[in-house]
Amino acid sequence: MFFCTQERLLLSVLPKHVAAEIREDLGAVVTGQFKKIYMSRHENVSILFADIVGFTAISSTCTAPELVKILNELFARFDKLSDKYHQLRIKILGDCYYCISGAPEERPDHAVLCVHMGLSMVDAIKSVREKTNTNVDMRVGVHTGAILAGVMGQRQWQFDVYSRDVVLANKMESAGMPGRVHISEKTLGFLKGEFEVSPGDGMSREEALRQAGLETYFITKVLKPYPMGTLDEKAEQNGKSGKEDELSKLTGNGEKSFEEDYKARLHEELLGRETKGHIRQQANPLTLFFKEPKLETEFRKIKDTVSLVSISGLPAIAIFCTAAYFLVMSGSIFAIICLPSGSLLLSIIALIVICPVGLEVGPSMLKRMGLKIIEKPGLRLGIILIMVIIWCVIHVLSTDYENTWTWPGTVSFGVVGGNGSNLTTVRPFPPARMTHNFPQYLTYFAVLELIGLTVLTHLSHLIKFFLTLVIAVIQGFINLNLLQDSLDYYDDRTYGTTSDHDMSHSITLTVIVVVVAVCLILINRQLEVTSRRLFLWQKEVEEQREKVADMRLKNEALVYNILPPHVAKHFLGQSKKDEELYSKSYEAVGVLFAAMPNFSDFYTEDSVNNQGLECLRFLNEVISDYDALLEQPRFKDIIKIKTIGSTYMAASGLTDDNYNPNMPVKEKWAHLAQLTEFALTLKETLTNINKESFNNFLLRMGINQGPITAGVIGARKPHYDMWGNTVNVSSRMESTGKAGCIQVVEETARILEEFDYVFEQRGLVAVKGKGNLMTYYLLGRKSDLKNSPVKSNLDDPAVPTTSSS
């Protein structure tokens, strides 16, 4: 169940093919100049951006936890709609939701599904409008084109899409109107006349659309209701229960279907084991030896104490046969000495082998000897052969055929012939003392020997075949030659000479031995086939167990690399419904936004850059180097939140549960100083990258501190994020700042001055929703500025550009 939860959680955040590729590469040695980038290009993909209009109004009327709850319920509903309309949710950015259709699985109806998704989102916002009594609405933009989809960096992986068409889709949303679905002419070309549209005139409201020469339209009417015009309509026509599938998705039964799919695959695998014939594929059909020498060696070295216990079968049979011999027959002096001695010898050998290992008793020397027998298959085989030979010799010698039925005289049996004459048959007269009263018992003892040989496990069926054949031939020779007179007299005594008993006991017993031998040979072969099949299955189970354990560790590593550790534990603990909320308020948190504003000039989608992939490969290197800094102990209180294009977001103070408002400033905001140090280190890292790559990228950063609410939206498709005034101001500090600088508000500057950081006043800056705020640029550490001239950040606001690679 835990593994299923891990897998479900992982696949809810990353597409299956990306998760599988990353999981396979975990722990692998990185070779090559660049870190591996998990990115793929997809053509003809529809991209939907949706933004909540009037979100600021909701924020002003609700507390932060209430706001998170409203967003959670709304976006959970969007996630269910995305399942229904086959959308892949990419990311949630504050109050913005965006998804794609047509990737990673191609669908010809991607644009139609995207428009249906947008219209349903507009309908879904009505419940929020009624609940909050505010004039909120959805603004939806859809554009169709090519994308590069994958993950960036080494931490907090989030599946994202990149391309010029993604930027245009975002502009389609911002140029749209509340309550309307705004589509581009490229999207319109894939709608096949299923919607009625009107001119959108987006170029007049958005410069990027005008530069791209992109005509836009608004959806005014649905001409073909869903699922008409989509692949889902064909699925329903083919008898699939579309309504049941939709109900399952909208009621959150995805986990149940995941487990049912897992059980179905397990059932198919078990059936496959019965039909694939593993032995036939991996073993010689005659000898049953494995074709792979290494596998055969492993099979022969199996340390099985049960196989040693089976050795006790031979002395047990010997003891009971000896007892039966003396109860039924009158043995010779030779047999009286030989049988008990042989049984005792076999028992001693068995005890030496079994007791120290199987029963864990006996002297240490015997124990070492027993362990050596287990570890060395050759020694084990030698002991078994010695025991079998000893018992065979005892059996042959105990026959005592030299003293069997001596005839000192004759006896007459009168028989009346068919013509009434009296015929007299003369037979030798038996002695007063008969050596064998029931000679057939010697054959029964031989059969028991064969059975005792059969129960010896891990003895090759070929060796058993040879020994069975030898014993059967010897016993047949004894019956037909050495015991023939004894058996013939037994027939005469039992049935009389006038009986119609056609087959003598010597022949009957020989046939019995042959039949038993043949049956046991077949049984021995089947036992070895079963033993070898079990060995293969055991190896498969061990391999699967190792794979599952490895996959579980990798899944856990992936989950912990997608969500912060304390959040990952919460979601791996038990199943969560979409509407369940995870949020936590913090009073003293630092937030950092770091962007490369000139990366957009660097990014091109020409053939030289492999349609933009090489530009993203460079960005992946930059973000990966940023992520690597978080592994340093000095940045232990910093958590990466997400990346948005070339913008890197991090926060500090989320791991501190010992907050006290009366704490000294230096203790309370130590993590903020750590975050500031991290920002300065990001600048140094990018400078080093620039030197190596001959580029001139600059970081534009903003830092703010204060209370925030952090939480997860969508429990089954978790997205960890932060909300609050602190986050908004930090983002504005970055967007209104200058490339190469770190901008903060006055309160943040005063706190960081306690940690010997030096600032330069910039002046009042207009911040959306906050009016004019006094801001400052960070100059550096006081200790670093003593021996170097202080350069003002107010000199030249121009942002240098770079040439594309």
Residues carrying an active site annotation:
51-52, 95
The CA distance from 743 to 762, in Å, is 9
Bond into 227 cis (ω within 30):
yes
Burial label, 222 (beta-carbon count in 10 A; 0-12, 13-18, 19+): middle
Q: Please answer whether residues 651 and 592 qualify as being in contact, where contact means their C-beta atoms are separated by less than 8 angstroms.
A: yes
Nearest to 532 by CA among 314, 312, 287: 287
In angstroms, the first-to-last Cα distance of the chain is 48
| Residue 316 CA: distances (Å) to CA of 283, 342, 399 | 34, 12, 20
Nearest to 536 by CA among 253, 187, 269, 296: 296
Nearest to 391 by CA among 335, 332, 342, 353: 342
Q: How many other CB atoms are found less than 10 A from the CB of residue 606?
A: 10
Contacts of 563 (CB under 8 A, 6+ apart): 156, 571, 712, 718, 720
Helix (H) or strand (E) holding 561: helix 505-562
CA angle, corner 229, sides to 228 and 235, nearest 5? 70
Nearest to 301 by CA among 242, 236, 377, 363: 377
Tally helices (H) and strands (E) across the chain.
30, 18
- The position carrying tokens 């399942």 is 83
Helix (H, G, I), strand (E, B) or coil at 91: strand
Long-range residue pairs from 285-294, CB within 8 A, at least 24 positions apart, any chain: 287/462, 288/461, 288/525, 288/528, 288/529, 288/532, 290/532
> With helix as H, strand as E and coil as C, how does 595-612 read?
ECCCHHHHCCCCHHHCCC
Task: Please state the separation of Cα 253 from the chain's center in Å.
Answer: 21
Q: Please answer whether residues 437 and 416 qualify as being in contact, where contact means their C-beta atoms are separated by less than 8 angstroms.
A: no
- The position carrying tokens 């958005």 is 206
CA angle, corner 455, sides to 477 and 539, nearest 5? 135
The CA distance from 169 to 179, in Å, is 17
Q: Please answer whether residues 465 and 448 qualify as being in contact, where contact means their C-beta atoms are separated by less than 8 angstroms.
A: no
The CA distance from 523 to 517, in Å, is 10
- The position carrying tokens 């749209």 is 176
Q: How many other CB atoms are found less than 10 A from the CB of residue 503?
A: 9
Helix 110-132, helix 64-84: angle, nearest 10? 150
Helix 461-477, helix 505-562: angle, nearest 10? 170
HSE-CB for 199 with a 13 A CA cutoff: 4
Nearest to 142 by CA among 169, 117, 119, 180: 169
Helix (H) or strand (E) holding 451: helix 441-454
Q: Please answer whether residues 598 and 799 qualify as being in contact, where contact means their C-beta atoms are separated by less than 8 angstroms.
A: yes
Q: Please answer whether residues 470 and 464 qualify as being in contact, where contact means their C-beta atoms are separated by less than 8 angstroms.
A: no
DSSP-assigned letter for residue 290? B
> With helix as H, strand as E and coil as C, how does 207-236 read?
HHHHHHCCCEEEEEEECCCCCCCCHHHHHH
The CA distance from 107 to 230, in Å, is 9
For strands 700-713 and 742-745, give the pairing. parallel
Amino acid identity at 389:
I
